[in-house]
Amino acid sequence: MASKPSIPKGTRDFNPQEVVKRNYIFDVMRKAFKRYGFQPIETPSFENSETLMGKYGEEGDRLIFKILNSGDYLKKVSDEELAAKDSAAITSKISEKALRYDLTVPFARYVVQHQNEITFPFKRYQIQPVWRADRPQKGRFREFYQCDADVVGSKSLWQEVELVQLYDSVFTNLRLRNTVIKMNNRKILSGIAEVIGEEDKLIDFTVALDKLDKIGVEKVKDEMRAKGISEAAIEKLGPLFNVSGSALEKLNSLKSLLASSETGMKGISELEFILNTIDEIQLKTAQLEIDVTLARGLNYYTGAIFEVGAPAEVSMGSIGGGGRYDDLTGIFGLKDMSGVGISFGLDRIYLVLEELGLFPETVLESTRALFVNFGNKEAMYAMRTINALREEGIAVDLYPDETKMGKQMGYADKRGIPFVILAGESEMQSRTYTLKNMKTGEQQTLDIDQLVSELK
RNA sequence: GUGGUUGUAGCUCAGCUGGUUAGAGCGCUGGAUUGUGGUUCCAGAGGUCGCCGGUUCGAAACCGGUCUUCCACCCCA
């Protein structure tokens, strides 16, 4: 006997209700992307390994799903290598392709490859699944969707301003209020590292700093010490841990800390511009905050760093992130092409909307009305009407079998179909229809025109 | 990748320190109700207790492995 079928860890099936709700989110995003002037592209679900490997740090390489070569994949591996059991060395010989890990790197590859066809600045959006060989948790899957909007070929900070507005617009349209858009700037982080004389430990330093709100000042300092950052340097960070107040106040205290760093001051002025501009324009529902400890994200960010947190009442990691990367296409041989982009985590946004009950009731309605089947003669009468209604763009259906009415009504009820139409012998004679509202139980007798306007 | 946790009917879960034929609620099927669903009543179907192995006279329960779930770390959407 075959054992019960199953799906791989961290993957999911979606039932009709779930797909409909996911599509609702996709629609909101797609419309917003379009309204902001982004154009859609798609890239393959798998890339050449060399395109992906090494782009996300050591941790990232581990999380990339590798695809085994076809055919005799051990052919290129020598007996010595096999005996040594050196997985890392063997991997590159038995696997030349890998599943997409995010949408940004494939996009960079796309830009370089199609640079002569693209008109810059190029604004593209991309909604596709990505895969990570991570250990699943709540809101963390091995297959999930990212929805990215990026602009390449412009260094203007107006892009950052627009992306903040795009976040605000999407979350507002999803009725998700009080999202927090946290912003930082990589130049500020570099500036701090410079000021404390630990430039070469930038990554270790930022990773530790990023944990501040989670583990507290002392543990952050411990981690910095563990990574070899000097006591004197940690001492100089003192003011950083006490940065508080409004966004502009935070910027001011940073200014005194970073006065001696040209890079740091550049980061501050960038942040200041974005902040002031947004302040002028105003956001609808999101809050824009400065978070100097925000350092997550990939090592390729060079300017702005974004992260969006869900409203405080739901416990969920970030539901979006992004930033500016001045040199991403450089990896693929195209210099001086600055890009900035943001990403939405569809699956996490879904969980948040579900938890807060924010899906509109109407998204679940699939079929508007169901015709009861009274037999072939009546079904023929119904089918002509069904065709007419479908021409009008109304989703209607005929119950396929001639069974007891109770069963047919029960079917409509369970499927959440709001109307049932009875068209039996008496209705046929008077060329009418009995329309039953399943919510109120009310029934009325209508002719075809009335039926159409009632269902529209 | 490290540490922990979970798995019993379609779903949510009981099942005491191992002891006959494994239970409940909801759901499902049929009937009460041959042109009226959601309520009520009656009847019924459905489980190799995640999987493999071990301990035992006897395992859903104890042990080991494995898969899965969720959680923390790492990292991230």
Reported ipTM: 0.84
Output the distance from A18 CA to B14 C1' rounded to whole Å. Answer: 31
Higher pLDDT, A249 or A156: A156
Local confidence band at A297 (pLDDT 50, 70, 90 cut-offs)? low
- A99 has which bridge partners? A46
Distance A155 CA to B74 C1' (A): 34
Per-residue pLDDT of A338-379, as tens digits, reads 999 999 999 999 988 888 888 887 888 889 999 999 999 999
Please give the mean pLDDT across all residues of chain A: 89
Query: What pTM, to 2 d.p., does this model score?
Result: 0.89
Beta sheet of A369-371, edge-to-edge order: A396-398, A369-371, A419-422, A433-437, A443-446
CB A33 under 7 Å to nucleic chain B: no
Check if residue A311 sits with its Cβ under 7 angstroms from strand B: no
Chain A residues 211 to 240 with C-beta below 7 Å from nucleic strand B: 211, 214
Q: Which stretches does DSSP call E strand in A326-437?
A: 339-345, 369-371, 396-398, 419-422, 433-437
Q: Which domains does chain A have, with CATH numbers?
A: 16-64+101-356 (3.30.930.10), 365-455 (3.40.50.800)
- Chain B positions with an atom below 7 A of a protein C-beta are 1-3, 28, 30-31, 33-38, 48, 50-51, 67-77
**Does at least one atom of strand B sit less than 7 Å from the CB of A405?**
yes
Q: Give, in order, the Cα–Cα distances in Å from A337 to each of A291, A326, A328, A332.
A: 27, 6, 8, 11
> What pLDDT shows up at residue A4?
66
Q: How many CB atoms lie within 10 A of CB A238?
A: 10
